[in-house]
A and B are shown apart, each in its own frame.
Chain A
Amino acid sequence: MSSEPTRRIRREDGWAWLFIGPLMLGVVVFYFWPILRTLYNSFTEFGAFGGTRWTGLENYADLLTDAHVPRALLNTLIYTVIVLLGIPLSVYLAALLNRPGLRLAWFYRVMFFLPIVAMPAAIAMVWRMIYNSDFGLLNYALSLVGVDGPYWISSPGWALAAVSVVGLWSSLGFSIIILSGGLRAIPPELYEAASLDGAGPMRQFFSLTVPLLTPSIFFLTIITAINGFQLFDLLYALLGPNNPAMAQTQSLVYLFYEQAFAQNDKGYASAIAMLILLVIGVITLVQFRFQRRWVSYD
């Protein structure tokens, strides 16, 4: 008799596994297994058509001496930091878009949301035209005020900034959606109470809106940082592999792609992939550590 409750729990356990099972299977097969496989591959020399040879830490030793790696790591960091600057901008824009009584609010929301539904390749095509040094919109606009614009996407000094601006721009839509959700969750009574206490719009924004949005902002910081470290498609489509600025602009994932698919060195590419995983892991961990200093959940 006394074992009855335990048995019931066991039985419920079975049901739980049944429901979680299919999802877990997917996660294990498509996420955990490839990660383990990549970890294994990073210790091998990977033949062009499969077949691995154990080489121990050789790939990691190469990683430490490869001059492209620190450059790519720095580029990726710079890109991520610039794209992260989009978050304060998104907070400001989301607050504007969610002002009560704003006319044409739906129109603005659609405008800001569009970049998310557009493919990165299509976005890159349009920006390539904007950035074109001789026939592009940007340098034409600059020429009207007497400035001779540079080669935005072909000179090493400018290309990374040019890519980052597009990255920032295309991340705005997603951030604004998330923040709008956060804003809607703030009870209007709080604002009424604040204005009764004599707080002006600025004071309300900084003392009420921003603190109450910190959970959404935190979520966005995590996601944006992870996406930033995975920079590839935008860079590839905007600059192209034949670009003279590519060597100085390439990101970690681009380096991975180069090694895995252009140079057929999948073992070394796996080591780069592990480095990317490690960097993203550390940065995310640090962010979680620091969140209690600034994120308020009440």
Chain B
Amino acid sequence: MVTTTRRTLLTGAAALGAGTLAACSGGGGGGGDIPDEIPADTSGEITYSIWDQAQKGAMEKIIAAFGKQFPDITVSLTVTPFEQYFEKLQTQATGGDLPDVFWMNGPNFQLYASEGKLQDLADVPGVDADSYPDAMNALYTLDGAQYCVPKDFDTIGLWWNADHFEKAGVEAPTEDWTWDDYRETSRAITEALADDGVWGNAGGTENQAYVYPLVLQAGGEIISEDATRSGYGSDAAIEAFEFLRGMVEEKIAPSIEFTSENKPADLFNAGKAAMLWSGNWSAAVFKDSPVRDAIRTAPLPTGKQAGNVIHGIGNTMAAEGRNKAAAAAFLAFLGGEEANRIQAEEGAANPAFEGTAQAYVDALPEFELQRFIDAAADASPYPVSRNTAAWLSLELEYYPKIVGGELEVAAGCAELAQKMDEALADEQ
């Protein structure tokens, strides 16, 4: 099991950080205007930016609870749709007008942290990284300093439809399923339920839910620990893609053209596929599915070893805010037990604060969401680098070519790895 703990990631980052990168990461750590203890009569107006309309209610409740502790601080909440969120944030950062407190994600984090736009948490009183999963802390740490308080997290599991399994007469997934079990069950269901137009598995080329766990399970990595080399050139990556390509070729998974027009999660949600790899975020969608009663979860199958990816949103504050004391007070509150409990009770997200997830699990007992929380212990952090977006678009370009058969698997992986290496070299 390749588990990147916080420490190993930090060692890699520290080795890398000493030289060129340190030069451009200044500015974030100052924080001279945040007192060691923030008095309860701190006053002012601060802004809080998020991207998920579905979580607006929960965030408003948290703001109200915060108001009881700091009655003189006013928090105004802004929701920007995810598609525009980071374009807008970038414009705000360029104009020196970032929101005081805002949501951040893995792929964008290092860009903002390395340019000194985010506040080093070491100077924010009341935040204790020990309360959150190691991998989440690692995701939001750069060159030894942590900049975001983990808000929630998700891992990947196997979602399956019990009705389809029963109708096809196959065994339910077990804790120790292998890739072969998954493929042969897919085959059996696809063949048995061909007349109903039901696929054994929903296919697709999702990176986080599908490709990343597969590569990890084959013993590989997406990006080296020091974020300088691509992992796509390895035998493990080739093995993972051959597994996906094989199922499409044998027609036991839908073609990439098919899943481009009919998203895997939609297929599963509509009862047109018996198995899907997806995160616990799908619970919010599948609870309203027409086939909800048949939906179950299981751990991911394993290849050479177990492998899973953890990701989540981080709360962070601007390094150069106007009212940093008030922002720091709010950020600390967001990371605290009460705010996380509110998130769980509202069913907004799986809270990152250790021990507050019970309400989230209890809300949808038949989905057994506890297994997604348990999976966090051994999950690898979501792979990122300084300009993750550059190679994310390479993934979008190459995955379909490889899985769809336009490029031969080994050649396609080599080409993707080479292009990604070039993108990573540009970051230095």
Contact = CB atoms under 8 A, between A and B. Distances in A.
B396 A241 contact: yes
Interface string B396-413: 110011001000000000
A155 interface: yes
Interface string A253-268: 0000010011111000
Given A258-B393, A263-B393, A133 B87 contact: no
A281 interface: no
A166 to B, nearest CB: 16
Contacts of A128: 261
B311 to A, nearest CB: 18
Given A258-B393, A262-B393, A134 B262 contact: yes
Dominant SS among interface residues on chain B? helix
Interface string B91-125: 00110000000000000000100010100000000
Given A247-B397, A262-B393, A264-B111, A154 B90 contact: no
A243 B260 contact: yes
A5 B344 CA distance: 83
Contact of B261 (A48, A151, A246, A261): A151
A168 interface: no
Interface string B59-99: 00000000000000000000000000001001001100000
Nearest to A242: B396
A266 to B, nearest CB: 10
- Interface hub of A151, A154, A155 (most chain B Cβ within 10 A): A154
SS of A interface (majority): loop
B261 to A, nearest CB: 5
Given A154-B257, A241-B396, A244-B400, A49 B115 contact: yes
A249 to B, nearest CB: 12
A134 B390 contact: no
A26 interface: no
B50 interface: no
Contacts of A240: 260
B261 A154 contact: yes
A271 to B, nearest CB: 15
A258 B87 CA distance: 12
A248 to B, nearest CB: 9
B389 interface: yes
B281 interface: no
Given A48-B90, A49-B94, A241-B396, A133 B401 contact: no
Contact of A132 (B93, B261, B400, B401): B261
Given A133-B258, A244-B257, A244-B401, A263 B94 contact: no
B323 interface: no
B93 A49 contact: yes
Nearest to B394: A263
B261 A49 contact: no
Of listed B261, B390, B397, residue having the most chain A CB within 10 A: B261
Contacts of A242: 260, 396
A297 B90 CA distance: 51
A154 B260 contact: yes
Nearest to A156: B406
Interface of B: 87, 90, 93-94, 111, 115, 117, 255-258, 260-262, 387, 389-390, 392-393, 396-397, 400-401, 404
Interface of A: 47-50, 128, 132-135, 151, 153-155, 240-247, 258, 261-265
